[in-house]
Amino acid sequence: MCYTIEQRLQAALKRAKYWNDERNIQRIEEILKGFEDQYNASGFAHPKIIAYSNLKPYKPELFHWGLIPHWIKTEKDAKSIQNKTINARGESLFEKPSFRDAAKNKRCIIPVNGFYEHHHFKGQKYPYYIRQINKEPMNLAGIWSEWTNKETGEALTSCSIVTTKANPIMAKIHNNPKLPEPRMPVILPEGLEDEWLTSTDQQLVKKLIKPYPQKELHTHTVRKLTGKDSPGNVPEATEEYVYKDLIF
C-alpha cells in the first residue's frame, strides 16, 4: 500500500524543467503557488498533491489524493469513496468500476521524494521511509478523474496511486497480518513515464505494473508518523530513527 508520502516542490518540478524553459517554469510555480513541501502527507487527509496528467505531460497540477469517479452523484458519496481510493490495485485496474475509466483514459505520474510503510512486529507498528538509493525523486504510477459537485457546481480533480505486489524487501516491511499480501506502489523506471501516461496499448500499460527492483531502493525506520511522538510535517520526519525493541 502507499498511504503516506514525502513530496517536495523542487523535486516535483524536475519533469517540468525538462525543456529548460525558465518562463514556463515561472508560470508553473505561479500555478502551484501555495503548495508547501510535504514531508509526511497522509492520503487519509486527502491533501492536494502534485501530479502530471496524460493531458499535460510536462505541466504539473494539483490533484486531491483519493480518486472520485466522475459518476459519483453526491458530495457525501464523494467523501465516502475517497478513503477507499487512495490506492488503486494494479491487477484489477482495468476491471474495477471505480478505476477502469481512468485507467484507460486518464493516467498520471506522481513525483515523490519517498514514501512510508509500516512494519508489524509483536503487536506494534514501526514506520519505514523508502526512497531511491540515488536520492533522486521517483515517479509513481497514478490515475486521475474529474468530478463535478452537482450541489455546488465545483469541479474537482483527484487521483489514486497504483499499487502492485511487493518486491522482497518491501514484502518484509509491509507485513500487515490483516492484508492478504504485501504491496508497494508502482514506481516507474526512468524513461518509461511517457509510456504510462500516453500509451493506448492496454497490454503495454499492464506490463509497467510490476515491483520495482529492491536494489534501487533504500529503507530505514523513522519516528512515528502520527501521535504525540510524531515530529509532524518537517524534514526530520524522514530521518532515520532506531527502535531498540525492533528485530528486523
**Tens of pLDDT, residues 174-216:** 999 999 999 999 999 999 999 999 999 999 999 999 999 999 9
- Alpha-carbon distance values, 27 to 43, 111, 136, 215 (Å): 27, 19, 24, 37
pLDDT band at 31 (very low <50, low <70, confident <90, very high): confident
225 inside domain: no
User: Does the pLDDT of residue 145 top 90, yes or no?
Assistant: yes
210-236 pLDDT, tens digit each = 999 999 999 999 999 999 989 999 999
pLDDT at 22: 73
219 inside domain: no
49-62 pLDDT, tens digit each = 999 999 999 999 99
151 inside domain: yes
Q: What percentage of the chain exceeds 90 in pLDDT?
A: 86
CATH code of 156's domain: 3.90.1680.10
The residue segments making up the domain with residue 29 are 4-113+136-165+180-213
121 inside domain: no
Q: 233 CB contacts (<8 Å, ≥6 apart)?
A: 38, 39, 40, 41
User: Does the pLDDT of residue 48 top 70, yes or no?
Assistant: yes
User: Does the pLDDT of residue 110 top 70, yes or no?
Assistant: yes
pLDDT at 165: 97
237 inside domain: no
Cell of 194: 511517457
Q: How many CA atoms lie within 13 A of 83 on its CB side?
A: 6
Q: For the beta carbon of residue 151, count every other beta carbon within 10 angstroms.
A: 11
User: Does the pLDDT of residue 35 top 70, yes or no?
Assistant: yes
User: DSSP per residue over the chain, as a string?
Assistant: ---EEEE-HHHHTTTGGGG--HHHHHHHHHHTTT---EEEEEGGG--EEEEEESSSTTS-EEEEES---TT--SHHHHHHHHTT-SEEEGGGTTTSTTTHHHHHH-EEEEEESEEEEEEEETTEEEEEEEEETT---EEEEEEEEEEE-TTT--EEEEEEEEEEE--HHHHHH---TTSSS-EEE-EEPTT-HHHHHH---HHHHHHT-SPPPGGGEEEEE-S-SSSTT---SSGGGGS----TT---
pLDDT at 68: 98
- State the Cα–Cα distance between residues 48 and 66, nearest whole angstrom: 10
Across 109-131, average pLDDT:
97
pLDDT at 89: 97
pLDDT at 126: 97
pLDDT at 29: 82
15 inside domain: yes
Number of domains in the chain: 1
201 inside domain: yes
Q: Look at residues 58, 53, 13, 49 and name the one whose alpha carbon lies nearest to residue 144.
A: 53
- State the Cα–Cα distance between residues 137 and 79, nearest whole angstrom: 30
Across 71-83, average pLDDT:
95
pLDDT band at 248 (very low <50, low <70, confident <90, very high): confident
244 inside domain: no
Evaluate whether 47 touches 37 at the Cβ level (below 8 Å): no
Across 150-163, average pLDDT:
95
User: Does the pLDDT of residue 21 top 70, yes or no?
Assistant: no
